[in-house]
């Protein structure tokens, strides 16, 4: 497709051709749009609402205001509640905090892995008893 055709498809899908897509060179516009449709909008193994909540958590952790806005609104579009949005962001905060702490202390990875697997095994056993 030429640029005009890709723009037409983008506008039919989004109602607008966003500036960031207009900045793409002719050589990659169609490819990037196709990837965006596939990864951001098409159904996948993870339902779109949850993919967007993951995207929001990553965006918040990396402090990208553009992606945070995009994924928040896409999560809402896909049915996420304010509580789910807050939970995703809170979870990202917890993950980043523990990552900072554990990495900063240089906790032995192999020992950490053993402890995680032991805890998961314990949780499975407890769950099976119920």
In this predicted model, what pLDDT tens digit does every residue of 75-97 receive, in sequence order?
A: 999 999 999 999 999 999 999 99
* Distance separating alpha carbons of residues 28 and 48, to the nearest angstrom: 25
Domain that holds residue 103: 45-130
**Are 114 and 64 in the same domain?**
yes
Residue 13's pLDDT band, with cuts at 50, 70 and 90, is: very high
Predicted local confidence at residue 40, as pLDDT: 87
Predicted local confidence at residue 99, as pLDDT: 96
pLDDT over 70 percentage in the chain: 100
**Are 27 and 50 in the same domain?**
no
Encode 87-123: b = buried (16+ Cβ within 10 Å), e = exposed.
ebbeebeeeeeeeeeeeeeeeeeeeeeeeeeeeeeee
**Are 11 and 51 in the same domain?**
no
**Are 124 and 112 in the same domain?**
yes
Counting the structural domains of the chain, the total is 2
**Are 72 and 97 in the same domain?**
yes
Residue 23's pLDDT band, with cuts at 50, 70 and 90, is: very high
């Amino acid at each position: 497709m030429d640029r005009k055709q890709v723009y037409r498809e983008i506008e039919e899908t989004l109602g607008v051709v966003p500036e960031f897509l207009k900045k793409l060179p002719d050589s990659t516009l169609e490819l990037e749009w196709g990837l965006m449709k596939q990864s951001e909008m098409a159904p996948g193994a993870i339902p779109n609402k949850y993919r967007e909540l993951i995207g929001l958590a990553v965006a918040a952790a990396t402090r990208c205001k553009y992606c945070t806005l995009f994924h928040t609104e896409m999560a809402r579009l896909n049915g996420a509640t304010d509580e789910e949005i807050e939970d995703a962001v809170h979870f990202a905060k917890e993950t980043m905090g523990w990552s900072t702490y554990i990495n900063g202390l240089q906790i032995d990875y192999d020992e950490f892995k053993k402890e995680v697997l032991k805890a998961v095994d314990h949780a499975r056993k407890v769950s099976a008893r119920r």
